[in-house]
Amino acid sequence: MKGYDLLELAVRNLRQSKLRNGLTTIGISVGVASLVAMLSLGVGLQQLATRRLAGSGMFDTVFVTSRQDFRGFDKEDDQKAPHPEKAPVLDEASRVKMTQLPNVTEVEPEIRVMGEVIAGGETHFGFVTGLPMSARENEAFDTLKGKFFSSDNADEAILLLDFAKELNTKNPSELIGQDISLRYGERQALSQDASDRPQLAGSDNEASSAGGNGDDFGFSVVRKQQKLRVVGIVDQEPYGGMRTVSRGRIFLPVRTTERLNMAQFNDMRSSLRGASGKTYTTLTVRVKDPAKVQGVQDAISQMGFRTFSVLDATKSLRRFFTVLDLFLGIFGSLALAVATLAIINTLVMAVLERRREIGVMKAIGASDGDVKKLFFTEAGAMGLFGGVLGIALGFAIGKAINIGTGVYLQRHQLPAEPVWIMPVWLIGAAIAFSIVVSLLAGLYPASRAAKLDPVQTLKYE
């Protein structure tokens, strides 16, 4: 029998029992819809996460910490590494070494200190963060009001909008161009004559002079005040505030923060260490091209430091989403599995009902293959209709999810973003999957129909 005739007969047979076949088809469509909705949710969430990471502009960044100071997230990796006390510290020498690595564009310390801003006779507490000039490229500054720093050593500040509102509730942008005073803690060497103090074994005066702080044996924190010109206001934290304990609210050029010699939390740690001069908590290494991040990261790891990049994050993210997709797929498939049983049931019923008809068809020349193909086509057609209907249904469910989350996000003052995305490949794959599953379900009924003995079915009753 030719394909077109097969299809025509199959469709007319399906229309013979509209209710039953309709219900079965709806069953399939619900199965497909749930599968599609689940997988689309997986895809949507994954894209949302990647979009967030990509937008943060951190794909070209490697964060470096000393193994002495922090242990990593990976316990196994930690155990394999040499003893933490033997690990190198993040000092000026290693910073210079990193700067000289190929493909590295800049190595900047991460500086975050506490400060008080005095404006209009009031003081406001805030965290100060040093930003390199390269931060201009970060998406956070896309909506910058005012200007970026004129140089990396300027006495200028950029405020986070929330903080600016604290200083000037009515019109925060008025602050641009105004001067504010920043009160901060300056790190001062404890004593000028370090020589009359007992030298610690292995202390390295050269390193301390390279750091230019000369405070091997401790330091005092002295309150200082610095006048700064507000040049801009940003809506969001650059780099998404990643890797920070507390968010920065006042941004200064990184050289300015270094020049002012602001006391940092980790200074406590470095003064206890006693073996070297100034050390950094975290160095941010920027790489020319995201593709080169892995190489730079490996090179720095070779130097004995702990490294972290978004690459690592996306790796585990990808693993997470594979597992998530798998689970969503399994749950989505459950409904389709139930629908498969419905197809088998419907077709077995049809074979029973149409025994006589099958016998007649065989008597007038249908081969076993023709009968089998006819039932297969009926199953496949139900799969196709169910698949298409299921896509439509899944699409509606997805739209509802998106609208729902959109409303929820907006209620929390967050921009609405689609969490549910149905890629074109999923539409095709779902319909194909639905047809294949239906055909598999048709396997048994079709072979049962083909095996019917026409002599038995045609016996006069």
Q: Give me the residues that bind another protein (CB under 8 A), please.
A: 1-2, 5, 9, 12-13, 16, 356-357, 359-370, 454-455, 458, 460
* DSSP sequence for 194-240: GGGSPPPTT--HHHHHHHT---TT-EEEEEEEEEEEEEEEESS-GGG
The angle at the Cα of 46, spanning 45 to 51, to the nearest 5 degrees, equals 100
Q: Count CB atoms within 10 A of the CB of residue 115.
A: 21
- Is residue 368 within 8 A of residue 446, CB to CB? The reply is no
- Name the minimum Å distance from CB 378 to another protein: 14
Contacts of 274 by beta carbon, 8 Å cutoff, 6+ apart: 200, 203, 216, 217
Pairing of strands 145-146, 219-234: antiparallel
CB of 427 to another protein, least distance (A): 33
226-239 burial, b at 16+ Cβ within 10 Å, e below that, comes to bebebbbbbebbbb
Q: Is 157 in contact with 228 (CB distance < 8 Å)?
A: yes
Task: Name which of 206 and 353 has its Cβ closer to another protein.
Answer: 353
> Rounded to the nearest 5°, which phi and psi values hold at 160?
-75, 140
Determine the Cα–Cα distance for residues 57 and 238; give it in Å rounded to an integer. 9
CB of 348 to another protein, least distance (A): 19
Distance from C-alpha of 325 to C-alpha of 320, rounded to nearest angstrom: 9
If the CB atoms of residues 4 and 425 are measured against another protein, the closer one turns out to be 4
Q: How far is the CB of 29 from another protein (least distance, A)?
A: 25
What's the closest the beta carbon of residue 457 comes to another protein, in angstroms? 10
CB of 53 vs another protein, minimal distance in Å: 59
Least Å from the CB of residue 349 to another protein: 16
User: Cα 206–267–279 angle (5° rounding)?
Assistant: 40
Q: Which is nearer to another protein, 330 or 455 (CB)?
A: 455
CB of 371 to another protein, least distance (A): 10
Of 312, 309, 282, residue with least CA distance to 94: 282
